[in-house]
Chains A and B, each alone.
Chain A
Amino acid sequence: MPQADRLVKTSDCFQLWLGQDDVRFFALVTMFITGLFLIRRQMRVGLLAILLLMAGVAGPLGIAAAALPDDQRYPASGDRLLLWVSYERGRAPVEASGAEALAAAGVEVWSLDPTSSYFLPQLARSMDAVPQEDVADWMQAALVSGKQVTIYAVARAAVPVLRGLAALEPAQRAAICVMLMYPNIYREAEPLAEPDYLDFGSLEGARIRILQPRRSAATPWLPGRVEALEMQGANVSSVILENLREDFWARETPTEFETIEGRRLDAILLREMESWRCR
């Protein structure tokens, strides 16, 4: 995608959360208040003048029109391509090293960190704001490579992936293998109420593998999520990852086993890609 298009799309995405005028307003107010506390009185007038000048300049330039990182690519000569979508906390160092290891093993990796790429807050719900057209374009670009494409997404990042998948032509959808690590696909999940699952549109022909760490509040709800995706047309299988918690590769206080497994995340993904035999 040309850089100019990417800038425009990102700007649009940012405005899903706040209008550009709102962004400018909040940026100014925050900077102004912070400045008042931090600087001496004689400098405050100068700061005010600078901020007003910035407000005038920010409009024509577009405040969200910064240069953005695209996906991170790890080329490899093998016939498999893994699209790796990190979750809302961003790309963990272990994920980057895992992508390198996979590339060394012949699996090309395109790694997408949605919160970074789209300047989104590091919140699960931010994933819902990732444009599905972009994800669909990304998957189509991967298919053009002629390689066997697997897309892997973590937690709420499953939402833009499944939406993008639903936006594809059925033949394209069927050509992609989807691996979801403890997908959060709820519209609403409140205590004492039946879970309400998101409707992604048609997932007819999609082949989905759910990777569910055992030590997760979501584990008892695995059958419900499988059923919800099957109801939308997907062919779903699942595997339990024993003795692991959600985001075991990025835990602040991991168990010894989680540390070991986190370091071999690439091997876990490779094992699933191979044992699942999604062709």
Chain B
Amino acid sequence: MFDCQLGHYLTYHHVSQDFFRRHRGKYDGLIVPLSIACVFKQGTGGFVLTLNKQYALDPRTPILQADFDRQSIRRAHLEIADVHGTAVRHIFASRPLRPADVSPLAADVAASVLSFQKEFAEQSAEKVDKYAALLGEEVRTAYGGPHFLVPPYFKSSGRNDAWYPVSLNLARAAVHEKENYGLAPVLHITPGFPENEFARMAEDYDNRGFDGLVIFINDLQEYIAPSATLTKYANLIALLQGLGKPLFGLFGGYFTLLLRKIGLGCFSNAVGYGEYRDSGYHEGGQAVRRYYIPKLHRYFTDTHAETLLNIVGGTVLRCACAVCRRRRPLTDYTSQELLDHFLNARLTELQHAGATDLSELLDQLDDTREALENYPMLIDPCSHLGRWVEALRPFGKRLART
């Protein structure tokens, strides 16, 4: 189900429609957050449908379990609650949801969230004409539904966490509502979820009604996470791969991209920001101008990235994509150019990783790290490379043996 050409989805954002249109060939599909699908329903639907890419809607349910000041609830979050049903909406307006609130409602909540996803295409038809005209395409009589359905899900820190069975029950309830669609429940866990419970979790989700599994480690910042956490993540992927179901990584950067070598089918990230996410984050905010350094496989603020390139000099860290070919300070790039550059870099990474075995990819990370060892003040910006290698090297060796 997630066995896509590139293995890469982008998280849709309504302010970057032109970007998604111009780069249509550089990603497989879109993950549309329910918040955006609700608040900008016609615009989002019209745009996404006429784009003719695979898409799925992320219910973003965990915001409903987040504890924050109820005075500052955003409209988008109220709309998310609405989609989960009247009872949920009523509770969420005054306090965070508790497992006991949702358990008795599991069937209704799952049905309501899946209905929204199944009806998204037909209810978004009003603006299809506008977007089809922008794309220079004829309006079709009918546009397809999502590539797969995503049941509502909650974050849990272990199998003993009271939210864990709630998510599992929601996924099971969703099986009865999926009709002819593919269904992919989200295993949304904290980085501290005990590794010795992974096998039982895999058994829990070994359900014939689940056509694929989405893995979402909360707030996993790959370039900061210790190698033990990254190893755990890789072990989870390797274990789940044994179920024979397609696997999708919701949010991730280059480390997650490398997990495609050990069984992950596809992964997604937002453009310019959003390679990780805290599902309980309830505030908005302005995006920081960031530049992706392909050789280091991570973002930096534009001033930070410019400093790195200047310190190292030469072409070691320089990107040769169409945007970067014309040499100028990164701080002079427009916001659009920063995004364009990122997607060019990500495409190159995907293609390169697709044609190279894991051990060699890890050797390349090691080479970069060693090349920068002469610069003691670069230890911090580059330290993630060593941790990624440490976490994945055993898999590289295993793959080489087979």
User: Are A and B co-members of a single complex?
Assistant: no
